[in-house]
Amino acid sequence: MLTLKQIRDEREQTVARLAKKGVDAAPIIDRIVALDDRRKAIQQQLDGNLSEQNKIAKEIGGLFKSGKTDEANALKEKVAGLKEQSKALETEQADVISEMESLIVTLPNRPAEIVPEGKTAEDNLVVKMGGPEARQLKGEGILPHWELAKKYDIIDFELGNKLTGAGFPVYKGKGARLQRALINFFLDINTAAGFLEVEPPIMVNEASGFGTGQLPDKEGQMYHATVDNFYLIPTAEVPVTNIFRDEIVDEKQLPIRMTAYTPCFRREAGSYGKDVRGLNRLHQFDKVEIVQVAHPSDSYERLDEMVAHVEGIVQKLGLPYRILRLCGGDMSFTSALTYDFEVYSEAQDKWLEVSSVSNFESFQANRLKLRFRNAETKKTELAHTLNGSSLALPRIVAALLENNQTPEGIVIPEALRPYTGFDIIK
């Protein structure tokens, strides 16, 4: 969440930047500032009452010693009145703080200066294109991945629907082997680049959901185990970043790099239309994630490194790709700057998002109370957090199947063959 300094001391800048996300923050910020002023005034009153109580307590002792009982009792009544007043002030202060905090968490993160203006995905800025040129396969027998999956019996969407529902496919034979190969391939590349592999839980508590910004306003997008109040994770970002919740790390440890494979679960995946057919949009899917905890002074350098790292993985798969800088209106609640990776799907003749790489600056860290100790000042400061998909599997698989189909079968990219153990799906 935004800090009070960003809200109070950088009000105009905050209002202007949040306007990029389509948020009119001025009324909320003015209310937050008014509540913070009231909080400070109440605290001043409380401090004054306590100081006066301490002063009177000393006087009462002297009066009793001097035999001035009536005067001492009168002062005791005054102390009782001050305590009663302080109790009422403390109740008001708690209400003020509660309202102020509930308003602060409704404000999204401020977009970085270079975030393009825009309201929808159509306004995103293409910053780079790469990989082989799209072949634009044509002619009879060119199939979308859901038909290829059926033809080669590698993914069963109907069986998944029987077992659970739409958006829960069953991978079979070489389809299952391809999934496992991609996961191991991605993890090996990440660990070779210095990311520590972890295997986190796939269910998290409410505090973890709040820490990375999924709660309190995105409950409807997450599967909720109500009896235990646990949430199935929408991404490994949630448990991995929360490893550092309520922690103070040594400045020398930064940057901290971690990677994890997890299944991911999203209720809002949708279930109708061609854009959600097959693997295009699922309720359960596999993804490998990278996370960084970085120093504020170089977090954007780390972001550039992560973008280059993900680009390297996509290049190894031999897929046409493009990198987009998201406009304000298409960014997530928590992001300050996001780059999306899309791969071209030959049979569908469309671009499919396979990764988002984001810098959250101190937004998540403030919610997490994730700090580092400055080596020079010995004071604690909020760290910056970053994450990225490297990569999400479903649309990668869709593009691999569609782009590599031949009359003989689906050719496996050379870089993947040591992991699959086969070079073609026949």
Q: Is 268 annotated as a binding residue?
A: yes
pLDDT tens digit string along 378-402?
999 999 999 999 999 999 999 999 9
Structure tokens at 306: 């992560």
Helix (H) or strand (E) holding 52: helix 26-65
What is the pLDDT averaged over residues 343-365?
A: 95
Q: Is 355 annotated as a binding residue?
A: yes
Q: Is 12 annotated as a binding residue?
A: no
Predicted confidence (pLDDT) at residue 137 exceeds the cutoff of 80? no
Q: Is 102 annotated as a binding residue?
A: no
Q: How far is CA 412 from the centre of its chain?
A: 32
The fold of 121-425 is BirA Bifunctional Protein; domain 2 (3.30.930)
pLDDT tens digit string along 243-288?
999 999 999 999 999 999 999 999 975 545 556 789 999 999 999 9
The fold of 4-104 is Helix Hairpins (1.10.287)
pLDDT tens digit string along 54-64?
888 778 877 77
pLDDT the model gives residue 155: 98
Q: Is 190 annotated as a binding residue?
A: no
Q: Which 3 state secondary structure label does DSSP give 128? A: strand
Predicted confidence (pLDDT) at residue 162 exceeds the cutoff of 80? yes
Q: Is 73 annotated as a binding residue?
A: no
What is the pLDDT averaged over residues 9-25?
A: 97
Confidence grade of residue 228 (pLDDT, cut at 50, 70, 90): very high
Q: Which 3 state secondary structure label does DSSP give 373? A: strand
pLDDT the model gives residue 11: 96
Q: Is 84 annotated as a binding residue?
A: no
Do 4-104 and 121-425 come out as alike in CATH topology?
Answer: no
Q: Is 98 annotated as a binding residue?
A: no
Distance CA 241, CA 260 (A): 11
pLDDT the model gives residue 291: 98
Q: Where are the domains of the chain?
A: 4-104, 121-425
Q: Is 314 annotated as a binding residue?
A: no
Q: Considering only 19-28, 72-81, 322-331, which range has the smallest mean pLDDT?
A: 72-81
pLDDT the model gives residue 231: 97
pLDDT the model gives residue 81: 87
Q: Is 31 annotated as a binding residue?
A: no
